Amino acid sequence: MSLRALSSVSRPFLLNSFKTALKPQQPKILSSMLYRNYTSGAVPAGLGQPDMTKGPLYRYDTALPKLPVPTLAETCARYLKSVRPLLDDKEFAETTAAVQEFQKPGGVGEELQQRLLAKANDPKTVNWLEDWWNDLAYFGYRDPVVIYVSYFYAYRDDRLRKKPTQRAAAIIQAAMDFRRQVVDESLAPEMAKKSPLDSSTYKYMFNACRYPAKPSDFELAFDPAQNNHVAVVRHNQFYVFDLIKDGKMLSTADIEVQLDAIVKLAGDRKDPALGALTSDNRDIWTETRKTLINAGSQNEELLRKIESSVFLLCLDDSSPVTRDEVSRACWHGDGRNRFFDKSLQFIVFENGKAGFMGEHSTMDGTPTCRLNDYVCTTLAQNKIDHGSATVSSALETPKKLNFAFNTAVHKAIETSEKNFDELIGKHGLYVQNYEGYGKGLIKKFKCSPDAYVQMVIQLAYFKMHGVSNPTYESAQVRKFQHGRTETCRTVSTESVAWVKAMEDHNVPAGEKTALFKKALDSHVSYMANALEGKGVDRHLLGLRLSLKSNENKPAMFTQEVFSRSCHWNLSTSQLSGEQFDGYGWGEVVPDGYGVAYMINENNLSFNVAALNEMRPDRLHHYLKESASDMRQLFEQTLLEAPKSKL
């Protein structure tokens, strides 16, 4: 996923005044993938006292420990170990000398560490990384959010709802049921084993929007009690209608009628593509938003209707069929029938296929994965109350947002459309839905499924490029207050030895397997440390940012290997759901790949996105080949022989 931006701009809190609209209801246990998120248990020792004045969702947030600052020694040692496979002996000796100079007693490293500890230990600091990370990784990042920051989920088909407005209405109903639990705080917090995870970002899930600004964007969340309208875009035309009337949620039948009305009102004519403006460079969009507002006295108020809506529903007129087509349509679509700053966009196509697009700035993938899994699973299991099948007689006609456009806005839209089309035209996306096996067989191999699939990716990349290059895997640190992610560096001395052995037909199967187990153990160990906030990358970022503007950078930070080691040729992450048919995002460096993967019981799914010149289609091929090679080997060496019956 994106490794890009955050802001120290103060943001309004989502107001909790929706409680009277609907009665609280406890969340249901859904798919096994998310079972841990819904399981509550005794609060582990070491947590502070929960705030019982809040609902289950938020009551543990202030009881969680704060993000730790690792010791200088452990980070330096871990850094050297992580760069060793990238360097020859001479380069490694030079790097070791620079690191030793950095961490020597009384040296600059110790001074920066003390500054960072002072920031972390300040009672006013909730999370020492938060303001820096949000600005550098998200809000301060100026390239387009679409493909570089945003991510998508593609849904499996709904056999009961082929008509697009019928499926869209059901999705809205299920999403609103989830929203109610967020707003009244009855939703259980996600859990990792028996520890609650930070829920603070749920405040920016619904009724929220990113805003373009220089030099850094910001996010606003709106009062859900005052904003119960959904925004719908069809043929680039934006409409809104209220989902709650007289304190009661509209039935699914009522919502479908409203959506049918929008499709009819929109007709076959397409309006100027206002949404395309949100697909452009953030500085360009900052200026064109001002141009748009100045073009009509009502334009800012109309924009606010989109921005403050519960979420955006995109009713596309395209009919993607294959996994590749559906994934691309969810990833970016035509760049016009969208509003890419909106935190949540549900997408339904003319043939009834559907998916989701998330804006990444204030929320990582796990909460929206939970939302989307809830939507898909509760609908599949018929656990949503759809209300009366009889359509209400007093529905108000959806209101079209009639923006005023002038020559300057038309020109800006034309430019943004051109920029979008050029960007998308340079990219390829391929979905490898590998059905040879899944989590079930990997567990029989007695392997960590995530570490195993990371090695599939490493082997595929090595087959294609003949070298191992820096690889990012997202590690969740939401066990800490306002925690988001840490980097797990996948490439290790052990992984490099293993991929080389796999491609050497002279190495015996037993030796290949032994090297694989070492590579797996190395990855599991690094991930375990990263989950405790003890990776390399976030700590080193904090140390670098603790330098004063008039101070020289230490040699360790100016070495070529320092930037090379975090030049993520592979940006990877796992989110899994049996109801999803795809999930992904774009590459984070021009010579790299975005590889999202799902590990389901009987299949592995890889979404490979990259510039066409990087031949993502070939990496897609090698992923399948690698998964098959590993199965063939490990069925010989890791499966226990069946016990004979007496």
Transcribe 434-450 into DSSP letters: E-S--HHHHHHTT--HH
What pTM, to 2 d.p., does this model score?
A: 0.91
Average pLDDT over residues 545-559: 96
Distance CA 580, CA 14 (A): 29
For residue 3, pLDDT over 80 is answered with no
Torsion 463-465-467-471 (CA) sign: negative
pLDDT of residue 606: 98
Using a 10 angstrom Cβ sphere, with 0-12 exposed, 13-18 middle and 19 or more buried, the burial of residue 277 is: buried
Active-site annotation holder among 229, 235, 360, 539: 360
In this predicted model, what pLDDT tens digit does every residue of 381-396 receive, in sequence order?
A: 999 999 999 999 889 9
CA 140 to chain centre: 18
Q: What does DSSP say about strands 218-221 and 208-211: parallel, antiparallel, or unpaired?
A: antiparallel
Where does the pLDDT of residue 45 fall: very low under 50, low under 70, confident under 90, or very high at 90 and above?
Answer: low
**Percent of the chain topping pLDDT 70:** 92
Q: Is the pLDDT of residue 69 over 70?
A: yes
- Find the helix packing angle between 449-465 and 616-637, rounded to 10°: 120
Q: Which residue has the tokens 């079972």?
A: 35
Query: Which structure tokens are listed for 384?
Result: 């949503």
Q: What is the pLDDT of residue 447?
A: 97
Strand ranges for 107-182 from DSSP E: 151-155
| pLDDT computed for residue 153 by the predictor | 97
What does the pLDDT look like over 221-240, one tens digit per residue? 999 999 999 999 999 999 99
What DSSP character marks residue 342?
Answer: B
pLDDT at residue 414, rounded to an integer: 98
Q: What is the predicted pLDDT for the residue at 577?
A: 84
**185 torsion bin: left (phi>0), alpha (psi -120 to 50), beta (else):** left
Q: How does residue 142 score in pLDDT terms, banded at 50, 70 and 90?
A: very high
Please determine, for residue 571, whether its predicted confidence score (pLDDT) is greater than 60.
yes
Q: How confident is the model at residue 14 (pLDDT cuts 50, 70, 90)?
A: very low
- Coil, strand or helix: which one is 117? helix
| Residue 360 appears among annotated catalytic residues | yes
- Cα–Cα dist 71/242, whole Å: 53
Q: Which two tokens stand for residue 79?
A: 């850094």
Q: How far apart are CA 312 and CA 206, in angstroms?
A: 10
What is the structure's pLDDT at 185?
Answer: 97
Average pLDDT, the chain: 92
Query: Please, what's the b/e burial string for 63-86 (b: 16 or more CB within 10 A of its CB; e: otherwise)?
Result: ebebbebbebeebbebbbebbbbb
Region of poorest pLDDT, from 18-27, 558-567, 627-636: 18-27
Closest by Cα among 576, 451, 578, 561 to 92: 561
pLDDT score at 86: 97
- pLDDT of residue 28 exceeding 90: no
pLDDT at 17 > cutoff 90: no
Q: Is the pLDDT of residue 613 over 80?
A: yes
The predicted pLDDT at position 47 comes to 87
More confident residue, 354 or 194: 354
Percent of all residues in the chain with a pLDDT value above 90, rounded to a whole number: 89
| E-only strand ranges, 228-341 | 229-234, 237-242, 244-245, 248-249, 312-315
Instruction: Identify the pLDDT of residue 32.
Output: 33
